[in-house]
Amino acid sequence: MSMVSINPATGEQSGVFEEYDAAGVAEIIERVHQAWLGWKEASFEQRGERLMAVAQRLRTRSEELARIMALEMGKPITEARGEIEKCAWVCEYYAQQGPVMLAQQPMDSDASRSYVAYRPLGVVLAVMPWNFPFWQVFRFAAPALMAGNAALLKHSSNVPRCAMVIEELFVEAGFPSDVFRTLLIGSGGVDSVIEHPRVCAVTLTGSEPAGRKVAAKAGQMLKKTVLELGGSDPFIVTPGADLKQAAEVGARARCLNSGQSCIAAKRFIVFEQVYDRFLELFKKTMTQLVVGDPLDDATQIGPQARGDLREELHQQVQTSVNAGARLVLGGQVVEGKGFFYPPTILADVGPGMPAYDEELFGPVASVIRVADAEQAAAVANDTPFGLGGSVWDRDAKRGEALAVRIAAGAVFVNGMVKSDPRLPFGGVKASGYGRELSHYGILEFVNIQTVWIA
């Protein structure tokens, strides 16, 4: 079997990578475990030095790495550069803050001395998606490695080049051999890796079905999991909002990464007093977005990552229109090479439409009319997902009062939902469980050990 790298801007094949066979995978897992036995004894200073070296390599190779992303999954080059910089930042953050986060914590007890220590678990498997092919990996790897774990990466099958160059970066930065390894395997090979006795935990970012499958297998094997799954984030526009700002940020929040983001604003919940005016401003901003070659600095929206994903998105749009949604903008497959889809707005969206009930993974905005704050909160929570959400109101206290009613892992007032190494990231309900980033993220894959001394 082989993995094919396809340029989504042209539909042309750009590389073929052979999948690893079962024997090769087993050998790599054993090598990673042996490497961990040494790495877990490294000091915080030694681990931090290596992470700082990775940050330096990321910046040195930034343009090359950004280009790989653009060619392999279609990310606009300006966003790809930003993604590489963010990866360098998370490495530096954990190199600097990890020793504080993992320091022994004295505890009061009946002992002469007692404390909590944070010990590494061992080999952690990361099953990662294609949409942020570097950031998703590094936001797992930086804290896991800083905590003294070793890492196995099973990346999405359509970004094998990204997967291999990430492994290369850790080698270049002087990490001990085999502390971080990539497994070129398909999704069918994940269960056997989870079953391997040397693998102690699993983290997955991806779809809800993939999360359920991985969680079931890990649960069967009694192994820790962290899941970051889909999202259908509400973007609530109140009568007190700065409508121009909300429309401009809303377009960016919906179309970041060509709309292919779990924390993208997807359901625009707008109070009826400002519905028509917001829709007018929103359409104007969305119309101005530049769709084109992801290697062009002027491009704001590149292609969808795969042809099948574009077709699924278009089917959701068509079904929603047939069910009564009003097509305000876009909604037509772009003719020609590549898997492009235009910025699209669906208005008057309601229950029973895919644009209301499902996650739309592309540059398609669903606009929903509500009467008041009570209905806005109800609609915001009328979803199986709970990843992020935002509220727009010039009165920050009033915005906060509405935001905290949203059942989500993160709520933002007058700002676009985003991930930040300093803040915990994750969801509730069908968006998964556990947290990445901040000190909460680094503690997910450690043994929180009580030490009691008489």
Tokens 């269960």 belong to 191
Would you say domain 2-229+429-453 falls under CATH 3.40.605.10? yes
Alpha carbon distance 180, 33 (integer Å): 10
Tokens, residue 216: 């079931």
The tens digit of pLDDT for each residue in 374-406 reads 999 999 999 999 999 999 999 999 999 999 999
Tokens, residue 301: 């929206």
Q: What are the two backbone dihedrals, phi and then psi, of residue 269, each rounded to the nearest 5 degrees?
A: -100, 110
369-to-10, 266, 326, 373, 429 alpha-carbon distances in Å: 38, 14, 12, 11, 24
Q: Could you check whether 2-229+429-453 and 233-413 share the same CATH topology?
A: no
DSSP annotation of 258? G
Would you say domain 233-413 falls under CATH 3.30.1280.10? no
Residue 2's pLDDT band, with cuts at 50, 70 and 90, is confident
Alpha carbon distance 62, 85 (integer Å): 8
The tens digit of pLDDT for each residue in 255-299 reads 999 999 999 999 999 999 999 999 999 999 999 999 999 999 999
Alpha carbon distance 430, 384 (integer Å): 6
Which pLDDT does position 331 carry in this prediction? 97
- Mean pLDDT, rounded, of the chain: 98
Amino acid sitting at position 108: D
The tens digit of pLDDT for each residue in 322-363 reads 999 999 999 999 999 999 999 999 999 999 999 999 999 999
Active-site residues: which are they? 228, 262
Instruction: List the domain boundaries for the chain.
Output: 2-229+429-453, 233-413
The pLDDT of residue 1 is above 80: no
